[in-house]
């Protein structure tokens, strides 16, 4: 047992744990930020998984064609938004059930990228690392947060921007009202389903970026299985965070910590049942949800479709 605790101590004092954690948290943060916006508008968008994977694939494709990571990030965004488009138009224009659409999309994207990967075999690579002087010298977390592959730094803009968008702009006010009380919003002259579609597109954009970041910041060559449930963890992070951006990001960090811990403990070579380890992040996620989920208030109209006249 002492052996175990010394290993844990070792894990928490090595910088790799934090760099891994930051990478994983980064992917989750990209996805969860957009998901948070979508959920605040009233859509429980479960196609995050597909958006991440689609974004990663189109990013790889973009890089494959141009050899530029920047272009890859752009095509990743486009890929995410394409999937968002299907989700948004199906569920908030054609009034299809948002969960059925999301579920179908996740499976569809998985199949499609698997097929296209074999057909095209896009090659991609890791982006360059970029060190921010001084800040990167902070002990333990400095390197993790300020000596990353450069797409990571987009987060430092995306997160405050998203907060500003939701809380400080008219669009954000309307978006929140649509998620809380679509009938009232409608009466006030706001196009409810349009706002909801727009917020799904925003989620597609950030998830596409997240997928691209995952590719260029973490894995390098594209594989069909890379996303592996992280989209769902991002959804869990939003719920865990009580539909606040701060809480959502805290959720991302905690869940990513669990993922990173798993990797580190394997690297150290501590012998622990690997299946159990695989499950660890998800156990943390479920435990977190069980503890916090009932204490928070969801947007009142979350996951409820809006049809004028119905109440």
Partner 1 sequence: MSNTELGDAGTDETNTSSVPAVRLTGITKRFGAVVACDSVNLALQRGRIHGLLGENGAGKSTLMKMLIGLVLPDSGTIAIDGTTESIHDPLTASALGIGMVHQHFSLVDALTVWENVALGDAGRLDPKATRGRIGEIAEQYGLVIDPDKRVGDLTAGLRQRVEIIKCLRRDPSIVIFDEPTSVLTPEESEQLFESLRHVVAAESRSVVLVSHKLDEVLHATDDITIMRQGKVVDQRRSVDADARTLARAMVGREVSLRSERAALGIHSLDDNGLDDNGLDGNNLDRADLDGIDLEEGATATGHTFETADSDTSNIAPDIGPTAVPVLRIGKAVVHDADGVIALDEFSLEMYPGEIVGVAGVEGNGQRALGDVLSSLLVLSSGTVTVDGAPVPTGKSGAMAKAGIGVIPEDRHDSGLVLDMTVAENLVLVDQSRAASRGLIDQKRLNAFAVEMIEQFSIACSGPNAPMWSVSGGNQQRVVLARELSQEPKILVAAQPTRGLDVGAIEYMSHRLETAAATGVAVLLISSELEEILELSHRIIVMHSGRIVGEMPRAEANFEALGLLMGGAAA
Q: Determine if 39 is a binding residue for partner 1 (CB under 8 A).
A: no
Asked whether position 299 contacts partner 1 by CB under 8 A, the answer is yes
Q: Which of 1, 133, 170, 225 binds partner 1 (CB under 8 A)?
A: 170
User: 274: helix, coil or strand?
Assistant: helix
Least CB distance from residue 43 to partner 1, whole Å? 16
Q: How far is the CB of 88 from partner 1 (least distance, A)?
A: 21
Q: Does the footprint of partner 1 cover residue 244 (CB under 8 A)?
A: no
Residue partners of 198: CB distance under 8 A and separation at least 6: 41, 88, 171, 175
For residues 240 and 290, give the distance between their C-alpha atoms in angstroms, rounded to a whole number: 9
Burial 14-45 (b: 16+ CB within 10 A, else e): eeebbbbbbbbbbbbbbbbbbbbbbbbbbbbb
The residue from 133, 139, 189, 269 that contacts partner 1 (CB under 8 A) is 189
**Measured between alpha carbons, how far is 84 from 197 in angstroms, rounded to an integer?**
8
Interacting residue with partner 1 among 66, 169, 274, 278 (CB under 8 A): 169
Closer to partner 1 by CB, 185 or 258: give it.
185
DSSP annotation string for 105-157: HHHHHHHHHHHHHHHH-----PPPEEE-TTGGGSTTHHHHHHEEEGGGGHHHH
Residue 68 makes contact with partner 1 by CB under 8 A: no
SS3 48: helix
**Least distance CB 270 / partner 1 (angstroms):** 47
Taking the C-alpha atoms of residue 35 and residue 51, their distance in angstroms, rounded to an integer, is 11
Asked if 173 is part of the footprint of partner 1 (rule: CB under 8 A), the reply reads yes
Closer CB to partner 1, 166 or 234, in the complex: 166
DSSP code, position 297: -
Q: In this chain, which of 35, 39, 49, 180 binds partner 1, going by CB under 8 A?
A: 180
From 58, 83, 159, 176, residue interacting with partner 1 (rule: CB under 8 A): 176
Is 79 within 8 Å of 211 (Cβ atoms)? yes
Report if residue 185 touches partner 1, rule: CB under 8 A. Answer: yes
Minimum distance between the CB of residue 80 and partner 1, rounded to whole angstroms?
A: 27
Give the residue from 99, 111, 81, 123 showing the smallest Cα distance to 219. Answer: 123
- Least distance in Å: CB of 205 to partner 1? 22
Name the site residues for partner 1 (rule: CB under 8 A): 168-170, 172-174, 176-177, 180-181, 183-190, 297, 299-300, 308
């Amino acid at each position: 047992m002492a052996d175990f605790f010394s290993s844990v101590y070792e894990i928490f004092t090595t910088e790799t744990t934090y760099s891994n954690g930051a990478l994983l948290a980064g992917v989750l943060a990209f996805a969860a930020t957009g998901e948070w916006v979508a959920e605040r508008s009233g859509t429980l968008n479960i196609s995050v998984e597909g958006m991440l994977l689609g974004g990663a694939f189109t990013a790889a494709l973009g890089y494959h064609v141009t050899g530029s990571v920047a272009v890859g990030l752009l095509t990743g965004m486009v890929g995410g938004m394409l999937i968002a488009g299907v989700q948004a138009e199906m569920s908030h224009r054609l009034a299809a059930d948002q969960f059925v659409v999301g579920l179908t999309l996740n499976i569809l994207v998985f199949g499609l990228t698997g097929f296209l990967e074999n057909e095209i075999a896009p090659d991609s690579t890791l982006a360059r690392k970029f060190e921010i002087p001084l800040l990167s010298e902070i002990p333990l977390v400095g390197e993790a947060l300020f000596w990353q592959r450069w797409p990571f730094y987009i987060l430092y803009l995306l997160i405050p921007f998203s907060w500003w968008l939701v809380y400080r702009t008219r669009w954000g006010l309307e978006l929140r009202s649509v998620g809380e009380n679509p009938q009232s919003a409608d009466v006030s002259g706001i196009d409810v389903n349009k706002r909801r579609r727009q917020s799904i597109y925003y989620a597609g954009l950030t998830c596409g970026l997240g997928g691209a970041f995952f590719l260029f910041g973490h894995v390098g060559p594209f594989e069909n299985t890379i996303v592996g449930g992280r989209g769902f963890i991002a959804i869990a992070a939003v719920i865990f965070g009580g539909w606040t951006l701060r809480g959502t990001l805290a959720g991302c960090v905690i869940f990513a910590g669990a993922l990173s811990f798993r990797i580190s403990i394997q690297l150290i070579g501590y012998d622990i049942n690997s299946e159990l380890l695989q499950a660890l992040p998800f156990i943390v996620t479920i435990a977190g949800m069980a503890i916090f989920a009932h204490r928070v208030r969801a947007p009142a109209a979350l996951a409820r479709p809006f049809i004028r006249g119905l109440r």
